[in-house]
């Protein structure tokens, strides 16, 4: 008799939008990996539907809206009886983890971290402090290359880090998109390596010819405007980087694409300066393939950057910072240029834009990097193997994670009582 399909419940922070963010793209790659196994997937979320939501039902994935602080979820999860529950970011584990454990204690609990939000936030706070103290600074070398021990010092006392890392401990496995963040967690926060699995973006390496140098024009920047690092990069380009590039290339054009474009972004649109805010791109890979250079001057952030992976998939060399390139490359040449100040970024961007030979080498470096580091044929099976092994040895795995058990015992009680109080309060309103 054929064994029943593995049942997977995903609790999403938002409904996946693969064309709006790297997080949405990564979630879809995980779901597609599960589908190759014939697993039965239900995607749920308390969030409102976004403008660019993926059509999950077309893939055979069931969809279910759920509510925060509502016992209706208890009946839902008990009836579904999932074998694996995937929490999309730690806030969903905080909200629903205790309910999952109470009603489905044998379900494997997996956390999709997306990136370490506490790391991103700590870097954001440092950048804001720098800009307040030195508003005219355009050199951030000291912010871009701190040792992991220094990152730990900036994070360790924050509530966000304590919440996020507690959720990692409470789950059986956490999917980490960045191997740098794995090192930070294991070396500085002393999280056991057995609780973490490296799962970067999972892609099919490009095989078709790229659009050549002579058929491309303009610079491009792309990213969800709701993501704070992207908006900060736009401001830095507008105020510092782009004027420097235009000094060398007076006719240069920069096209900035992003979902959920706010009025403050459209207000920056200035064709006379070659600075074009283009709103959302219906096909991000198409506009990326038409551009000659991708600009990603990120001054803070975490995880890995979907825009740079898209650039490599399209054969578009990029110019970025150490923050942008973090955890994305290896010891081989970077497919473009990395710099720490506005002037160096501008010089590198102009050189790549004009030098066909350098540009072609960068394009080829990107193709090779995708094949070496992001091959779905490698990471997809590795993810399935990790989850299967953890399921088969779940009792021992949890016993070895005593800290997680202890945190669940205490935290889930307080979370449960708070949720029940909120639900009772809402009934009486």
Residue 208 placed within a domain: no
**Res 281: pLDDT:** 82
Residue 419 placed within a domain: yes
Distances (CA, A) of 415 to 347, 402, 421: 52, 19, 10
Residue 136 placed within a domain: no
CB-CB neighbours of 267 under 10 Å: 9
Residue 52 placed within a domain: yes
Q: Is the C-alpha dihedral spanning 160, 161, 166, 169 positive or negative?
A: positive
What digits encode the pLDDT tens for the residues 123-132?
Answer: 999 999 999 9
| Residue 386 and residue 247 share a domain | no
**Mean local confidence (pLDDT), 424-428:** 70
What digits encode the pLDDT tens for the residues 33-56?
Answer: 999 999 999 999 999 987 789 999
- Rounded to an integer, what distance in angstroms lies between the CA atom of residue 356 and that of residue 402? 57
- Here the CATH number for the domain that contains residue 282 is 3.40.50.2000
| Residue 249 and residue 179 share a domain | no
| Partners of 175 in the β-ladder | 112, 197
| Residue 176 and residue 94 share a domain | yes
Flag whether pLDDT at 425 surpasses 80. Answer: no
| Residue 414 and residue 314 share a domain | no
**Res 418: pLDDT:** 63
Helix 376-392 vs helix 22-36: angle between axes, to the nearest 10 degrees? Answer: 70
| Residue 280 and residue 235 share a domain | yes
| Residue 35 and residue 14 share a domain | yes
Higher pLDDT, 281 or 215: 215
Instruction: Report the number of distinct structural domains present in the chain.
Output: 2
Name the residue among 166, 28, 36, 163 with its Cα closest to residue 86. Answer: 28
- Rounded to an integer, what distance in angstroms lies between the CA atom of residue 162 and that of residue 113? 14
End-to-end CA distance of the chain: 52
| Residue 293 and residue 226 share a domain | yes
Residue 355 placed within a domain: yes
pTM: 0.93
| Residue 391 and residue 350 share a domain | no
What digits encode the pLDDT tens for the residues 76-119?
Answer: 999 999 999 999 999 999 999 999 999 999 999 999 999 999 99
The two structure tokens encoding residue 346: 């501008």
Flag whether pLDDT at 70 surpasses 50. Answer: yes
What digits encode the pLDDT tens for the residues 365-406?
Answer: 999 999 999 999 999 999 999 999 999 999 999 999 999 999
Residue 288 placed within a domain: yes
Residue 412 placed within a domain: yes
Residue 125 placed within a domain: no
What digits encode the pLDDT tens for the residues 219-251?
Answer: 999 988 989 999 999 999 999 999 999 999 999
Judge contact between 152 and 181, C-beta under 8 A: no
| Residue 169 and residue 245 share a domain | no
| Domain of 337, in residue numbers | 213-373
Instruction: Give the number of residues written for the chain.
Output: 429
**Res 211: pLDDT:** 96
| Residue 389 and residue 368 share a domain | no
| Residue 41 and residue 12 share a domain | yes
Helix (H, G, I), strand (E, B) or coil at 410: helix
């Amino acid at each position: 008799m054929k064994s029943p399909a593995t049942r997977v419940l995903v609790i999403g922070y938002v409904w996946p939008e693969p064309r709006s963010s790297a997080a949405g793209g990564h979630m879809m790659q995980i779901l597609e990996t599960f589908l190759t196994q014939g697993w039965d997937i239900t995607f749920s979320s308390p969030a409102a539907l976004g403008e660019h939501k993926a059509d999950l039902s077309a893939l055979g994935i069931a969809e279910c809206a759920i509510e925060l602080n509502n016992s209706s979820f208890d009946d839902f999860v008990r009836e579904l009886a999932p074998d694996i529950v995937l929490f999309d970011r730690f806030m969903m584990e905080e909200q629903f983890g205790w309910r999952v454990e109470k009603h489905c204690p044998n379900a494997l609990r997996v956390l999709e971290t997306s990136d370490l939000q506490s790391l991103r936030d700590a870097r954001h706070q440092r950048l804001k402090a720098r800009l307040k103290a030195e508003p005219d600074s355009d050199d951030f070398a000291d912010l871009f290359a701190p040792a992991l021990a220094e990152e730990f010092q900036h994070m360790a006392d924050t509530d966000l880090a304590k919440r996020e890392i507690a959720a990692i401990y409470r789950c059986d496995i956490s999917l980490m998109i960045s191997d740098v963040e794995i090192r930070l967690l294991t070396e500085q926060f002393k999280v056991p390596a057995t609780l973490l699995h490296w799962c970067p973006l999972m892609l099919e390496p490009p095989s078709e010819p790229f659009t050549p140098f002579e058929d491309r024009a303009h610079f491009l920047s792309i990213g969800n405007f709701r993501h704070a690092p992207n908006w900060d990069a736009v401001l830095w380009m507008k105020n510092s980087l782009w004027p420097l590039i235009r000094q060398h290339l007076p006719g240069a054009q920069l096209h900035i694409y992003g979902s959920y474009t706010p009025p403050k972004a459209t207000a920056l649109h200035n064709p006379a300066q070659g600075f074009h805010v283009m709103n959302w791109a219906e096909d991000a890979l198409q506009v990326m393939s038409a551009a000659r250079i991708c600009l990603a001057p990120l001054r803070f952030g975490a995880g890995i950057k979907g825009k740079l992976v898209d650039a490599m998939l399209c054969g578009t060399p990029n110019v970025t910072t150490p923050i942008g390139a973090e955890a994305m490359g290896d010891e081989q040449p970077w497919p473009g240029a990395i710099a720490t100040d506005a002037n160096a970024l501008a010089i590198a961007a102009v050189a790549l834009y004009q030098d066909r030979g350098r540009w072609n080498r960068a394009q080829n470096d990107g193709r090779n990097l995708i094949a070496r580091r992001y091959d779905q044929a490698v990471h997809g099976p590795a993810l399935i193997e990790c989850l299967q092994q953890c399921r088969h040895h779940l009792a021992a795995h949890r016993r070895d994670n005593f800290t997680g058990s202890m945190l669940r015992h205490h935290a889930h009680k307080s979370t449960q009582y708070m949720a029940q109080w909120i639900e009772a309060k809402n009934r009486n309103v």
